[in-house]
Structure 1
């Protein structure tokens, strides 16, 4: 019996009708659906309600119903367990969602027949060190960003790669992105587009106050060190635009490739360049 986690975005599946239809399909095919306890109660399947950790660690695969934001959140939570994700789009076309709702059940049929592949996506890990003590650890599928608040002055951030000094950025912040994240915030800040299964790390200053600051691409074996080099009352480190932590003068952030990957289920022979054209030429 397959154990399948169903993770809906309740803002996109407001009446949970898609979620309920997925649960019924799984039950009809001899599988055991795993649901958040609140969602399970709302659709009348209380006995399938599970704690979050159990959903992510014990499911054979996950069905994430939402958009790219939903996938990013699910990816961080299930990465320690390597649980594959079927990403289902319930909103606008995204870079991470594999299928839309109309393709969901034929895609599940393919998965149950073994007609699918797993695409591994590199992730990043960040450690924030304050007064020589690690205070918090993050992982990200898209990017880790240091950014200033709306009313604070420009940040001054010293950047090192493997203890080699790179530059001191006087800028609105710095983006450290994966290839998956190269089409997100990094792209709008002038960073390069990188094929999503290539393993590199992209460092891009945000609105740098110089004529020469450009993106730098380094290997997945390199370790970034970012030092907050000047007092600033309003700096944050954020991961995938969803988690945040306030950072201060003299804090040090270490960023490297994570040992964990996001495993995306692929049921279509989709072309990244077709998706790129569709997304970046939208009107």
Structure 2
């Protein structure tokens, strides 16, 4: 297959700043926080008490505290905090704290991925694999983090492009998954999937999930995929309700390029990134997915580990004395 022409791939999905390479694997970070940017779940007034509690705690600790500009526009002046945009935040000295669920953290991570600003998630949603602290843990968990004692967790990100003919119509980032699905219709779609220009299969299904290790505990897990540890350099391809009993999830190296072409659909199919935006597809459209040259930078308390999170969130049996 001939290489794609160099064209302007202007995004229609909201995009953060320019792309800068970032390593995948975590490294120790011991650096005191000098400024905190708060982000609450947008258009959700239920986060206001939690934001007030975070504001009071941080100001008591003498930490300059700001409210993200869109969040400030939603909430108004009720918190009395100065607004600060993601573009104005400083990766060397600042910390972003999100209050909401994993969706709030994912949206923030897409905005901050290229600038490398660390994110701490406070969970006020349901399961919360990424936003792993509760608001009731703030008084105990935050002081050591503000002093620079925390774990850094770099999560891989996918970059997806939607091609129609010789033009790229959309491009965007996904931290959990790229999803190609049947839209609002009842009939299956058919996709032709290639990896590094090598034919893999033509699959009839309700959809196809291309997930990162982070996304392996999201929709991919619900669709029967395996759980991957966050630092594993892999992607998952998981068909959604495939029309064959032999279809299985496939794990591949995250250095490959995945191409999925829509070859049959009785209704408008769709493409979505992290279940955030949905873009209608036409027969013949091709979605090209690669690992992005940037990472989401998440932080956690020093004593926490991935398997502890799995036990807690999935209610796995624990033995006395487990770490």
TM-score by shorter chain over 0.5: yes
Partner-residue secondary structure (3-state), 1:229: strand
Q: Deviations over 1:70-98 (max 9, x none)?
A: 11111111112111101111233421123
Cα distance in structure 2, aligned partners of 1:211 and 1:24:
55
RMSD after superposition: 2.3
1:197 lines up with 2:231 in the alignment: yes
What's 2:16 paired with?
none
Deviation at 1:56, TM superposition (A): 8.1
Deviation at 1:26, TM superposition (A): 2.8
1:41 lines up with 2:73 in the alignment: no
Query: In 2 relative to 1, CA 57–38 (structure 1 residues): closer, same or farther, beyond 3 Å?
Result: farther
Q: Deviations over 1:236-267 (max 9, x none)?
A: 11111122111111111100111111111111
Asked whether the equivalents of residues 226 and 252 of structure 1 are also in contact (C-alpha less than 8 Å), the reply is yes
What's 1:114 paired with?
148
5+ long unaligned stretches in structure 2: 1-32, 317-323
Cα distance in structure 1, aligned partners of 2:291 and 2:197:
16
Q: Deviations over 1:260-279 (max 9, x none)?
A: 11111111422333432443
1:238 lines up with 2:272 in the alignment: yes
Query: In 2 relative to 1, CA 156–40 (structure 1 residues): closer, same or farther, beyond 3 Å?
Result: closer
Asked whether the equivalents of residues 191 and 260 of structure 2 are also in contact (C-alpha less than 8 Å), the reply is yes
Asked whether the equivalents of residues 10 and 16 of structure 1 are also in contact (C-alpha less than 8 Å), the reply is no
TM-score by length of 1: 0.91
Query: In 2 relative to 1, CA 26–280 (structure 1 residues): closer, same or farther, beyond 3 Å?
Result: closer
Cα distance in structure 2, aligned partners of 1:177 and 1:123:
9
Partner-residue secondary structure (3-state), 2:255: coil
What's 2:165 paired with?
131
Asked whether the equivalents of residues 23 and 33 of structure 1 are also in contact (C-alpha less than 8 Å), the reply is yes
Asked whether the equivalents of residues 37 and 84 of structure 2 are also in contact (C-alpha less than 8 Å), the reply is no
TM-score by length of 2: 0.80
Query: In 2 relative to 1, CA 279–138 (structure 1 residues): closer, same or farther, beyond 3 Å?
Result: same
What is the correspondence of 1:41-80 to structure 2 with a 5 Å cutoff? Answer: 41-45=76-80, 48-51=82-85, 53-55=87-89, 60-80=94-114
Q: How many residues align?
A: 281
2:56 counterpart (24, 33, 36): 24
1:260 lines up with 2:280 in the alignment: no
Between 1:145-154 and 1:72-81, the stretch displaced more is 145-154
The answer to which structure has the higher helix fraction is 1
Query: In 2 relative to 1, CA 44–206 (structure 1 residues): closer, same or farther, beyond 3 Å?
Result: closer
Deviation at 1:2, TM superposition (A): 1.9
Partner-residue secondary structure (3-state), 2:245: coil
What's 2:41 paired with?
9
Partner-residue secondary structure (3-state), 1:21: helix
5+ long unaligned stretches in structure 1: none
Asked whether the equivalents of residues 12 and 90 of structure 1 are also in contact (C-alpha less than 8 Å), the reply is no
Between 1:86-95 and 1:142-151, the stretch displaced more is 86-95
Asked whether the equivalents of residues 34 and 55 of structure 1 are also in contact (C-alpha less than 8 Å), the reply is no
Query: In 2 relative to 1, CA 207–93 (structure 1 residues): closer, same or farther, beyond 3 Å?
Result: closer
Cα distance in structure 2, aligned partners of 1:277 and 1:2:
33
